[in-house]
Chains A and B, each alone.
Chain A
Amino acid sequence: MAKIAPVPEEAVLEDVRLKAPEVSLEQAAKLGGVAGIVAVFVSANGMVQAFAERDIISGILSMGYALLFLVPLIIAYLAAREPPVLEGFEAPQKGPRNVVAGLIVGAITGLFLVLFVLLASAVNLRRVFINISPQLLDLLTFGQGSGGLVLLAAGSLLMGAAGGLTQLLEAKWRRALWGAVAWTLLIGLLEVIVAQLFRGLGLNVLAPFFYAGTGGLTPVGAAIVFVIAFLYYWAVVPKVNQWQHAYAQMPAERQRSVRLSAVVAAVIVVAVTPQVLGPFVSEVLDLVGIFLLMGLGLNIVVGFAGLLDLGYVAFFAVGAYTTAILTSPASPRWSPEMSFWAALPFVILAAALAGIIVGTPVLRMRGDYLAIVTLGFGEIARLLLLSDWLRPVFGGAQGILKIPNLSIGPIVFRTPVDMFYPIVGFCLLAAYVSWKLKNSRIGRAWMAMREDEQVAEAMGVDIVEIKLKAFIVGAVIASFGGALFAVKIGSVFPHSFSLLVSITVLVLVIVGGLGSIPGVVVGTLALVGLPELLREFQEYRLLAYGVLLILMMLYRPEGLLPTKQWVRELHEEELMQDAWLKMEEDRRRAQAQAQTSQGDLPPAQPEEA
């Protein structure tokens, strides 16, 4: 039998502090390739040209160029970042290597773009890629012909270097810098809202100072926004922790008064928001609110209970059509002409029934199967509404018109500005219900079912009952969204209830963070609000959703604002790895200590002696 050589203890002890790996230049080259492909892709699919119409900083930066050059900037930043340092490892020194990594990305991106322009001007690609137009090539070469190619490459290289350089900054400065860049771009893009805000607040004089007539910030305005955002991140954000701490230290009474004033402030902000922002932005906010309602409902079904529902739009349709039939004088078969509030109990009833109808057949299904079956239900609902067979009830493709406005007593909610208030009201109700249920017997049973259905059942949870309850609550919340949608638009048509609605709601729940209520709010604002405001974006909306979903799944599966629980679940292995490494290191240290104290030196004296 061969003898196994014992591992010499000393060999293990020598590298107590392991060095974490440095930035990999090879990786940077690969990422550079990715950046190059992305930059060429956004050019070839027409995004750069379409976005070039809109200025972010007037005369200096259009949204098209911003998109094009953000690609090397962001990817260079990522390529120049050290791999994560596990506990027990020594972080490598930052230095020129980071900048070189950034430069590599910039250079490769530039090379790809230049080759693309050369190829496109030599060969006519327009038969296949209709967006590769002479105007696009003009844009990419800054209208300078072949001399522009140098500019294009130089710009890309510069962005790569900038991305690498920011890695050298201290965390505080880096955060401030990126925050300021992001806010400047955002304020530039949201001209509609901000200009309207100035107008609404009676600060009309300020508007021309910030925004140029051609759209986009004036250079001075951009500088001001940049400085303010920079100062905010540099000086205010680090203090938030202190404030939270101070709040926790306050006596209960002061805490209550702080809370109260926060609530009062929030109420005032909500009350004046639509008035200040005017009808167009209010319209967008109304839509955001309706999607938010659905997001909160789906969050219960998918986030809490773990039931992947792809036909959620069916419940939205039930709410809208029930409201339409009961309130409209033009409903085809039977028009009781109820008021919205009288119809509401029937809406709830119809939605609950729909929840049971969808929920019952899928009681014994999980995961993928559940998703496919619910997908089918969503389509069935739309086709029924469209069908000739049910035309006498639902009005077929013509839908139901003349749905009266929402009113409370003498107050009639006519305009988008008016509708904002009931929509916010219902959203708050849904958020309250979600929060309340989450921390209750029912919510715990949902989560237990999500974690392990069989064990939940063995612990006394009636799976059938709890699953149906999740579907019913989700359905009722979505039906509120549908009811508000019906009275807001004044008519309902089957084509409003397409699969796309289900997908949008699911994407915003996933992007925001499954199971997280603030996450749903952020997800809705970003994915529904932003594209509504930026009309150039509409055509590329689905592309953006797809890209976003893939990136989220790869790099941040818990969503933007996750619940603590999901963070834990998805980073579980990493946490365990860290814990293990720490344990290992402690063990080595202890061993090393034991060895040295066994040496010639006398044992160390206690300090106090």
Chain B
Amino acid sequence: MALLEVRSISKDFGGLRAIDHLDFHVEEGEIVSVIGPNGAGKTTLFNLITGIFQPDEGEIIFDGHNLVGLRPDEITRLGLARTFQTVRLFFNMTVLENVMVGLHGRTHAGILDTILSLPRQREEEEFIRQQAIDALSFFGTRLIGFRLNQPAFVLSYANRRRLEIARAMATGAKLLLLDEPTAGMNPRETLELTELIGRLRDEKGYTIVLIEHDMRVVKGVSDRVVVLDYGRKIAEGTYEEVAHNERVLEAYLGRKAVRSA
């Protein structure tokens, strides 16, 4: 059975149909890219899966649970975490604290445990710290050491993206939804991140869905590519298959351009 299965979901914003009877599935251990022109409904799809919006129709099944009707935090605790297209870190918290927040849903210490400083709470706090450092170490030395206690806003753009991924990893998710992880990066950083996405799956065992505009990244990492246009799936397959699909070219370049080509 697929790890994530989206069954015929739709979402209207007023009169605009952002997602239209979309079917979509992700197998465990797969890297799936979602592409499409601006306004195709890619980020809306992520928002529906993570519970920020509720679909008007359809079902979203993740790991045997129906996600429709659940709150974002409940969905995250089931093992599904995301990053945001416009980097949304907790900018006034330190790098380490940002990732530690990711572990919130996996830990339990309450107010009384904390005030009484029970051994259980202290162990848990140490666990949180350790896990957070582990997640950050995945990016080599970029985010650890002296960086740990720096506020997130001093980070470079690429490091902010990395920190967002580390924070999503810390939630203990099985499936990561990465919304344009290379946006705003230079070619070298993009290449590095492409390789990193592959390592996330191969070494850490994450299943990954990413929205991406940079076709080199899409080509480099995806097992499968799903193309959206006007909220519908217009093509699906390997990069090569999709890249030569006439409907896809049409969606990206326009009908006329494709004909004259």
Enumerate chain A residues within 8 angstroms of B77, measured Cβ to Cβ: 460
Enumerate chain B residues within 8 angstroms of A461, measured Cβ to Cβ: 73, 101, 104-105
Enumerate chain A residues within 8 angstroms of B91, measured Cβ to Cβ: 451, 569, 572
Distance of A335 Cα from B90 Cα, bound (Å): 50
**Chain A contact residues, majority secondary structure:** helix
13 new A-B pairs (CB below 8 Å) besides A437-B114, A441-B128, A445-B104?
A: A440-B109, A440-B114, A440-B125, A444-B101, A445-B101, A447-B90, A451-B91, A455-B89, A458-B81, A459-B73, A459-B105, A460-B76, A463-B73
Distance of A437 Cα from B121 Cα, bound (Å): 12
Interface with A: B6-14, B92-100, B139-147, B207-215, which one? B92-100
Q: Is A447 touching B111 in the complex (CB atoms < 8 A)?
A: no
Is A462 an interface residue, CB under 8 A from the partner? yes
Is B199 an interface residue, CB under 8 A from the partner? no
Distance of A27 Cα from B128 Cα, bound (Å): 53
Q: Report the minimal beta-carbon distance from A19 to chain B, rounded to whole angstroms.
A: 29
Q: Is A433 touching B115 in the complex (CB atoms < 8 A)?
A: yes
Q: Report the minimal beta-carbon distance from A131 to chain B, rounded to whole angstroms.
A: 45
Distance of A458 Cα from B168 Cα, bound (Å): 9
Q: Report the minimal beta-carbon distance from B223 to chain A, rounded to whole angstroms.
A: 25
Is A568 an interface residue, CB under 8 A from the partner? yes
Enumerate chain A residues within 8 angstroms of B66, measured Cβ to Cβ: none
Enumerate chain B residues within 8 angstroms of A463, measured Cβ to Cβ: 73
Q: Report the minimal beta-carbon distance from B56 to chain A, rounded to whole angstroms.
A: 21
Q: Is B102 touching A441 in the complex (CB atoms < 8 A)?
A: no
Given A440-B114, A441-B128, A459-B167 in contact, is the A452-B88 Cβ separation under 8 Å? yes
Given A459-B102, A460-B76, A463-B73 in contact, is the A565-B111 Cβ separation under 8 Å? no
Q: Is A451 touching B114 in the complex (CB atoms < 8 A)?
A: no
Given A444-B100, A461-B101 in contact, is the A437-B93 Cβ separation under 8 Å? no
Distance of A460 Cα from B76 Cα, bound (Å): 5
Given A457-B73, A460-B171, A568-B92 in contact, is the A436-B117 Cβ separation under 8 Å? yes
Is B106 an interface residue, CB under 8 A from the partner? yes
Q: Is B111 touching A441 in the complex (CB atoms < 8 A)?
A: no
Is A350 an interface residue, CB under 8 A from the partner? no
Enumerate chain A residues within 8 angstroms of B104, measured Cβ to Cβ: 441, 444-445, 448, 459-461
Summed over the interface, the residue pairs from A and B with CB atoms below 8 Å come to a total of: 107
CB-contact partner of A568 in B106, B151, B167, B171, under 8 A: B151
Q: Report the minimal beta-carbon distance from A437 to chain B, rounded to whole angstroms.
A: 6
Q: Is A569 touching B92 in the complex (CB atoms < 8 A)?
A: yes
Is A456 an interface residue, CB under 8 A from the partner? yes
Is B107 an interface residue, CB under 8 A from the partner? yes
Residues of B within 8 Å of A, CB-based: how many? 41
Distance of A1 Cα from B81 Cα, bound (Å): 51
Q: Report the minimal beta-carbon distance from B40 to chain A, rounded to whole angstroms.
A: 22
Is B138 an interface residue, CB under 8 A from the partner? no
CB-contact partner of B93 in A451, A458, A473, under 8 A: A451
Q: Report the minimal beta-carbon distance from B207 to chain A, rounded to whole angstroms.
A: 18
Enumerate chain A residues within 8 angstroms of B128, measured Cβ to Cβ: 441
Is B84 an interface residue, CB under 8 A from the partner? yes
Is A566 an interface residue, CB under 8 A from the partner? yes
Nearest neighbor of A563 in chain B, beta-carbon distance: B92
Distance of A143 Cα from B117 Cα, bound (Å): 67
Q: Is B92 touching A566 in the complex (CB atoms < 8 A)?
A: yes
Is A38 an interface residue, CB under 8 A from the partner? no
Is B249 an interface residue, CB under 8 A from the partner? no
Nearest neighbor of A439 in chain B, beta-carbon distance: B125
Query: Contact string, B55-89, partner A, CB cutoff 8 A, digits 1/0?
Result: 00000000000000001110011000110100011
Q: Report the minimal beta-carbon distance from A438 to chain B, rounded to whole angstroms.
A: 10
Enumerate chain B residues within 8 angstroms of A436, measured Cβ to Cβ: 114-115, 117
Q: Is B92 touching A565 in the complex (CB atoms < 8 A)?
A: yes
Is B153 an interface residue, CB under 8 A from the partner? yes
Enumerate chain A residues within 8 angstroms of B114, measured Cβ to Cβ: 436-437, 440-442
Nearest neighbor of B168 in chain A, beta-carbon distance: A459
Is A469 an interface residue, CB under 8 A from the partner? yes
Distance of A442 Cα from B90 Cα, bound (Å): 15
Is A577 an interface residue, CB under 8 A from the partner? no
Enumerate chain A residues within 8 angstroms of B151, measured Cβ to Cβ: 565, 568
